[in-house]
């Protein structure tokens, strides 16, 4: 059994890492094409209008209220209803029974509507801004496409699996269908993460926790499903001598990720590829990471991804996937299960429940990895995360 | 509304979500009123936040609260403000019209 200590550098203190992640302005001059209407707050370009920033600020606070006070109120009602029907809330009741029993309650309904309504408005204010000023932002992306450091590879002939083309968590157009998907994703997730990621803190935490291969050799790193590139950039800043690649299915996401990496003065390569069929050579990478992608993938695609990582990692290489259940067990609590069902059904996370039903460590082992379930946590407040190593 | 542009967008076809059909509060109108309240609240907060910025800036330039209270807008300002008011009302209350888009056999959160 591998243990946390065998992964050495994962224990790097966040405060020391912080020195590497200072204001982008310290490392990079502002590119001439950069649309930066209201300046930056360290790593974050401020939203282009004060009112939009304030609306997102409100929705951040509203989400906190919905996820705490309103959640507790609705959960209390749900538990009382379940008990009255002879169902013990903590007994892992079946989803369909829970949904049928509690969803007509007005407080549960209010919780659901407040959560979804806030989410819809979060996307709408961003969508309207970027589409109303489409030429301005498309021009910015076009200029960044051709700039460096780092390269941008788009593949218009890539056949997109249907599962990747949904409007995941209600993002208009999803990851592939809207030219401003990267802009919207970045600012919406800032709200979604309730203000805890304005300076990429969550990605920096994850990147600083990535275990180093036992022999210490790190030439190439792959960040799968890189979205707006925050994890890829944090990896490059932690491992400046490594060649870092971020891959994603969505061209609009990659264009934004590339543009932002340039803006931060960080040399990362971004490429439009499938995580389950990346076309990279065998034994090519020393480390492969992913950040919250598997709950957005089908079970079949996840299994294929494990095989693909086994192929492209070199012997002794480290695989570090971070997602909802790589660092905590699936809850047996009725209302928590109801919320997961809500997320899947109405927040357009179609495969979240399938993901929860998978035995992740067992599946990764089945692909040939040595799995450590007690690796360093990728999220603040968690105690562990899965780490897999390709046998040497 | 989606942008109309001649520039390359690098986008692909996608599968649209069906969350516009969701009814959580037993009546789609009540659902929509809740959404309108959230939207309205976000705008109220935006105004309050802008006001805080302005009060700080004005105070540093010697503009008092009384001067703000007694200000008379020009004709051009009045026209501009009315146009903004109408946009604001449409944005806030257009959610109410969504009810007409909900399929009559829409799933009631089942």
Q: List pLDDT tens digits, range B28-86.
A: 999 999 999 999 999 999 999 999 999 889 989 999 878 887 889 999 999 999 999 88
How many angstroms separate the CA atoms of A267 and A258, rounded? 9
How many angstroms separate the CA atoms of B20 and A198, rounded? 30
Among residues A248, A229, A228, A223, the alpha carbon closest in space to that of A321 is found at A223
Q: Quick check: A74 and A107 in contact, CB under 8 A? A: yes
For B11, which of A58, A139, A252 is closest by C-beta distance?
Answer: A252
Under DSSP, the state recorded for A274 is: B
For the segment A12-20, the average pLDDT, to the nearest whole number, is 43
Lowest pLDDT segment from A19-23, A287-291, A378-382: A19-23
pLDDT band at B104 (very low <50, low <70, confident <90, very high): low
**Which pLDDT does position B66 carry in this prediction?**
83
Instruction: Calculate the average pLDDT of chain A.
Output: 93
pLDDT band at B108 (very low <50, low <70, confident <90, very high): low
For the segment A119-132, the average pLDDT, to the nearest whole number, is 96
For the segment A278-301, the average pLDDT, to the nearest whole number, is 98
For the segment A87-93, the average pLDDT, to the nearest whole number, is 97
The answer, yes or no, to whether residue A16 has pLDDT greater than 50, is no
The answer, yes or no, to whether residue A86 has pLDDT greater than 70, is yes
Residue burial A249-274, b: 16+ Cβ < 10 Å; e: rest: bbbbbbbbbbbbbbbbbbebbbbbbb
For the segment A294-321, the average pLDDT, to the nearest whole number, is 98
For the segment A69-80, the average pLDDT, to the nearest whole number, is 95
ipTM over cut 0.85: no
Contacts (Cβ under 8 Å, ≥6 apart) of A213? A286, A287, A316, A317, A318, A389
> How confident is the model over A195-253, as pLDDT tens digits?
999 999 999 999 999 999 999 999 999 999 999 999 999 999 999 999 999 999 999 99
Q: Give strand ranges (E) for A96-173.
A: 152-153
**Which pLDDT does position B107 carry in this prediction?**
65
For the segment A359-369, the average pLDDT, to the nearest whole number, is 97
For the segment A138-151, the average pLDDT, to the nearest whole number, is 96
How many angstroms separate the CA atoms of A220 and A241, rounded? 9
Q: Quick check: A30 and A37 in contact, CB under 8 A? A: no
Q: Phi-psi region for residue A34, left (φ > 0), alpha (ψ -120 to 50) or beta?
A: beta
Query: Is the CB of A165 less than 8 angstroms away from the CB of B15?
Result: yes
Q: How many Cβ pairs within 8 Å bridge chains A and B?
A: 140
Query: Is the CB of A138 less than 8 angstroms away from the CB of B109?
Result: no
pLDDT band at A19 (very low <50, low <70, confident <90, very high): very low
CA distance readout (Å), A332 to A88, A351, A359:
11, 18, 15
Query: Is the CB of A116 less than 8 angstroms away from the CB of B19?
Result: yes
Residues of A in contact with B25 (CB under 8 A): 106, 109-110, 113
**Which pLDDT does position A8 carry in this prediction?**
36
For B11, which of A99, A130, A177 is closest by C-beta distance?
Answer: A177
**Which pLDDT does position B109 carry in this prediction?**
56
Lowest pLDDT segment from A101-105, A158-162, A186-190, B94-98: B94-98
Residues of B in contact with A116 (CB under 8 A): 19, 22, 24
CA distance readout (Å), B94 to B20, B42, B47, B62:
13, 15, 20, 41
Residues of B in contact with A55 (CB under 8 A): 42-43, 45-46
For the segment A288-309, the average pLDDT, to the nearest whole number, is 98
Under DSSP, the state recorded for A212 is: P
**Distance of residue B33 Cα from the nearest chain A Cα, in angstroms:** 10
Query: Is the CB of A58 less than 8 angstroms away from the CB of B41?
Result: yes
Q: Quick check: B92 and B39 in contact, CB under 8 A? A: yes
> How confident is the model over A334-363, as pLDDT tens digits?
999 999 999 999 999 999 999 999 999 999
This prediction's pTM:
0.88
For the segment A52-73, the average pLDDT, to the nearest whole number, is 94
The answer, yes or no, to whether residue A20 has pLDDT greater than 70, is no
For the segment A118-125, the average pLDDT, to the nearest whole number, is 96
For the segment B91-97, the average pLDDT, to the nearest whole number, is 75
pLDDT band at A28 (very low <50, low <70, confident <90, very high): low
Quote the percentage of chain A above a pLDDT of 90. Answer: 92
């Amino acid at each position: 059994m591998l243990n946390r200590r065998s992964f050495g550098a994962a224990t790097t203190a966040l405060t020391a890492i912080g020195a590497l992640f200072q204001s982008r302005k310290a490392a990079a001059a502002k590119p001439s094409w950069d649309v930066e209407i209201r300046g930056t707050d360290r790593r974050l370009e401020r939203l282009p209008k004060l009112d939009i920033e304030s609306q997102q600020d409100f929705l951040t606070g509203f989400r906190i209220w919905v996820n705490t006070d309103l959640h507790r109120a609705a959960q209390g009602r749900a538990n009382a209803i379940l008990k009255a029907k002879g169902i013990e809330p903590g007994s892992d009741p079946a989803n369909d029974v829970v949904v049928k029993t509690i969803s007509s309650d007005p407080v549960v309904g209010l919780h659901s509507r407040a959560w979804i309504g806030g989410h819809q408005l979060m996307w709408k204010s961003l969508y309207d801004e970027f589409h109303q000023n489409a030429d301005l932002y498309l021009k910015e992306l076009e200029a960044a496409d051709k700039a460096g450091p780092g390269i941008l590879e788009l593949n218009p002939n890539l056949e997109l699996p249907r599962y990747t083309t949904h409007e995941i968590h209600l993002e208009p157009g999803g990851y592939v269908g809207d030219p401003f998907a990267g802009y919207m994703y970045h600012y919406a997730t800032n709200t979604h993460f309730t203000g805890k990621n304005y300076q990429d803190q969550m990605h920096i935490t994850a990147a600083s926790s990535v275990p180093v291969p036992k022999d210490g050799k790190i030439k190439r790193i792959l960040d799968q499903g890189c979205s707006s590139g925050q994890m890829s950039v944090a990896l490059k800043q932690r491992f400046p001598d490594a060649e870092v690649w971020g891959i994603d299915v969505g061209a609009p996401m990659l264009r934004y990720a590339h543009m932002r990496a340039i803006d931060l003065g960080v040399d990362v390569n971004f490429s439009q590829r499938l995580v389950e069929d990346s076309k990279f050579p065998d034994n090519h990478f020393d480390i492969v990471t992913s950040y919250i992608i598997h709950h957005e993938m089908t079970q079949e695609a996840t299994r294929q991804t494990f095989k693909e990582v086994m192929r492209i990692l070199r012997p002794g290489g480290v695989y570090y996937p971070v997602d909802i259940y790589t660092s905590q067990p699936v809850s047996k609590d009725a209302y928590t299960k109801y919320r997961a069902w809500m997320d899947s059904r109405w927040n357009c996370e179609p495969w979240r429940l399938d993901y929860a039903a998978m035995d992740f460590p067992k599946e990764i082992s089945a692909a040939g990895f040595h799995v450590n379930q007690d690796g360093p946590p990728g999220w603040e407040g968690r105690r562990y995360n899965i780490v897999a190593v390709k046998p040497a | 509304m989606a942008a109309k542009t001649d520039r390359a967008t690098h986008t692909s076809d996608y599968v649209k979500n069906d969350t516009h059909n969701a009814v959580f509060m037993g009546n789609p109108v009540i659902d929509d009123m809740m959404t309108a309240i959230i939207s309205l609240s976000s705008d109220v907060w935006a105004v309050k936040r802008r006001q805080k910025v302005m009060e700080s800036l004005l105070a540093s330039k010697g503009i008092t609260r009384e001067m703000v209270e007694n200000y008379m807008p020009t004709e051009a300002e009045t026209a501009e403000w009315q146009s903004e008011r109408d946009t604001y009302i449409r944005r806030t209350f257009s959610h109410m019209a969504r009810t007409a888009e909900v399929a009559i056999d829409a799933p009631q959160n089942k």
